[in-house]
Structure 1
Amino acid sequence: MEKQTDQNEAVYREQRENKVLEIEAILEKYLPAKEGYQQIIMEAMEYSLMAGGKRLRPMLMKETFTLFGGEGEIVEPFMAAMEMIHTYSLVHDDLPAMDNDEYRRGRKTTHVVYGEDMGILAGDALLNYAFETACSAFALYPESSERIGKAMGILAKKAGIYGMIGGQVVDVKETGHRIGKDVLDFIYELKTGALIESSMMIGAVLAGASEEEIRIVEQVAARVGLAFQVQDDILDVTSTSEVLGKPIHSDEKNEKTTYVTLMGIEKAGAIVEKESGEAIELLHSLPDENSYLEWLLKELIHREK
């Protein structure tokens, strides 16, 4: 039985490597050509976007799309757009006015390479180009305009003041202050959870899932988002910068309240287990299944880097 589990693990890991390569190809396909007087910003966009990483959000989108029987390439512009939005948030997070980090994914951050001014503009450019990219789906698949429009609404809301940006605002505002679990949950739900929710919901919408199914997917993603962020808190204390590819103890340096500072590593770990268990249980309540998606969710939540 253990040998079979190891074999399955190896198969899933190989699948993930192949899926990351497929996503990289999609990102390259939708990147703007590096030309014109403003060529430097296209270069900075590509440097930021193609810096590697797990490609978690576009992968979750595609796997949820597959879960509900989605076919074709209609999901691809949204996969690229989602990764652009996630990347812009990282570029801005790394700026001197925010976390002031010099390394991301094992290499120099965008503002260190291109300057703070171009770092700001590269983030702005990625955000705007993300919506330009997602909008291209209307022309490519006019027969699916209703689904595309609904997906656009989710993308916009979950990235904005009622989603990721809203969470980041409260995070920045409360840095250096001791906050309670209710405020911390609000930050995590929006700052981290919103884009994971958006990714999985858009995959479901584009595949034609029902309203009830989309609601369940949102709940799955919300729990995954919280578990993912709490695990990030734990790794910030227990891992190394070589393994993570970014500085450790950054939460302590920036005087941020986390689940670890609030309740300790052991209780934080219990939260990860609880939320991930509930996420998988909800996933099983859906009519169809995607064994790779289930493995991916577990792997991302219990990751070591």
Structure 2
Amino acid sequence: MGVKELPNGVWPVMLTPFAQDGSVDYNALEQLIEWYIDNGVHGLFAMCRSSDMFQLTRDERIDVVRFVQEKTAGRVSVVASGHVSDSFEEQLKDIEAISEIGVDAVVLITNILAQAEDGEDVWKRNVETILERFPGTTFGLYECPSPFQRLLSPELIKWCGETGRFTFMKECSNNLGQILEKIKAVQGTPLKIYIANNPHLLEAMQAGGHGYSGMQATYQPDLYSWLTNHWNEDAEKAALVQSYLGATCAFEGRQYYIATRYYLQLEGIDITLKSRMNRAVGDFRPTNRREIEQFRAYNRYFKKTLFSQGG
């Protein structure tokens, strides 16, 4: 029996909302799930760095992923990571727990599968162990930039694809040349490449890439959905949308963990500004709020103007 084919498109890296007391806010999480789906996403990356996965306990990670899986109810695909324990044996327990939830792919964090000084041979051996330990599980890959970044070679990605066990990859090189090589490497395999680098999304799609999985999808998932759905139907409009999305990626590094939550508040989601990645909510100054308010206003104007004649 083959693995499930994942849809092309936009896969937001999900936030984990927190209540004022610091616990996970499941009411806000459910609202966030519905907002993403209403905005046309094709899948959800339910546990990743944006989800504060390094700051959550194992039980919290499991509960959040299970909640997302249950509330999506098959309306969109769900993948999740979370094997962040220190030892490899404890990571296997993390993987087992997420696998048992039934997500479409358990996403392996590339920098956790071997030490920074280890070569790809060590990495490959550890992945082989995981594949043998969990013969019925489908996997993904995530080139997470923290605590260090391990970018996989096209040859290693080709090997992953040819195992037939990998279907999802969040590619984080921010390098068009590497992106194109990886897209070529997975041709003919179930493994799909979803890039995190905004400015190259259209070029990646034109080269046979499969979509976007990055931080900016929390601000404007509907535009990423449109581009990944219609990139080859209207070249002029696709180029204009790409230029807008590429320019707005400047917001990625500006109080991301708080700014995204403030944007979602403006969208009507009952979410606090709390994040375990960045506790200094007081650092989110009135100027930062105005930036997000103006970004959202321009975002809405752009969409209204661009799509006023349909499409």
Measured against the shorter chain, the TM-score band is 0.3 to 0.5
Q: Give the strand-richer structure, 1 or 2.
A: 2
**TM-score, normalised relative to structure 2:** 0.36
Q: Give the helix-richer structure, 1 or 2.
A: 1
